[in-house]
Amino acid sequence: MVTIEKIPLIGIYGGTFDPIHYGHLRIAEELLDITNLKRIIFVPSGAPRLRATPIAARNHRSNMVHLAIRNNSKFSLDEREVNRPGISTSIETLQEYQCELGDSAALCFILGMDAFIKINQWHNWHELFGLCHMIIVARPGYVSINDYQNLPTDIKKEFVTRRVLDADDLELQTSGFIYTAQTSLLEISASHIRSLVSAGKSIRYLLSDNVSDYIKSNCLYTGNI
């Protein structure tokens, strides 16, 4: 009987995290159960290329991620993008990881369907498939992760060609697959949290208490947003 050597999986979870909330954390926690990810690295973005400038400063968003994940041994924070000058691009970050890890691990880039349906606008997006697998998770209010017929043509072509139905397949090669994960749909958004703070309303139970306390003590999101 031939034994296939499996490749360790590392999740890369990027975002503005402005602020990080239970929606982000629950997705990451469930992915540890659904897939064989050894750990998940949270990578707060510095200056996103395709999104508006985050409301909270880079150091605040990074500090909030640290507070939110510090009690989970399988979660870690990487500040390379917040420390990188200029515009942040995912491909630059993934290239750096590949140089650091080589073939010792397979990178699994975690992104929501809201991001995936626009991935053809990303810098050198086709090259991403040579650097990582993609794990796509559903987002409230967006097309179902299984309703791929409505994807833009060029994205649908990649999706149909690269999709695997078994998360174990991600361990067979270092990059190139797309896996869609069914995670809980918590209808929590960072923009809603910011609006509540701005209006002087409670954000309790939407995010961890230590992050809520940090927002209050640093007077974040209190102005017009």
pLDDT value at position 145? 64
Closest among 128, 194, 122 to 162, alpha carbons compared: 128
Is the pLDDT at 118 greater than 70? The verdict is yes
Is the pLDDT at 138 greater than 70? The verdict is yes
Mean pLDDT of the chain: 92
Angle formed at CA 211 by CA 209 and CA 213, multiple of 5 degrees: 70
> Predicted confidence band at 134 (pLDDT cuts at 50, 70, 90)?
very high
Q: How far apart are CA 186 and CA 24, in angstroms?
A: 9
| 115 located within any domain | yes
pLDDT value at position 105? 96
Contacts of 102 (CB under 8 A, 6+ apart): none
Question: Tens digit of pLDDT for each residue in 155-194?
Answer: 999 999 999 999 999 999 999 999 999 998 888 999 999 9
Is the pLDDT at 202 greater than 90? The verdict is yes
Q: Indicate which CATH number applies to the domain containing 177.
A: 3.40.50.620
| 166 located within any domain | yes
State the average pLDDT over residues 116-130: 93
| 169 located within any domain | yes
Q: Which of 26-35, 117-126, 164-173 has the lowest mean pLDDT?
A: 117-126
pLDDT value at position 146? 66
| 146 located within any domain | yes
Residue 211 in tokens: 């992050």
Contacts of 168 (CB under 8 A, 6+ apart): 36
| 73 located within any domain | yes
State the average pLDDT over residues 50-71: 93
Cβ contact 106:8 at 8 Å: yes
pLDDT value at position 224? 54
| 179 located within any domain | yes
Please tell me which residue, 149 or 189, carries the higher pLDDT value. 189
> Predicted confidence band at 18 (pLDDT cuts at 50, 70, 90)?
very high
| 193 located within any domain | no
- What one-letter code names the amino acid at 220? L
Range of the domain at 112: 9-186
State the average pLDDT over residues 206-220: 97
pLDDT value at position 140? 66
Q: Which of 39-43, 102-106, 148-152 has the lowest mean pLDDT?
A: 148-152
Cβ contact 54:87 at 8 Å: no
pLDDT value at position 148? 72
Burial code of 85-106, b = ≥16 C-beta within 10 A, e = fewer? eeebbbbebbbebbeeeeeebb
| 53 located within any domain | yes
- Total of domains in the chain: 1
Question: Tens digit of pLDDT for each residue in 31-59?
Answer: 999 999 999 999 999 888 767 889 999 99
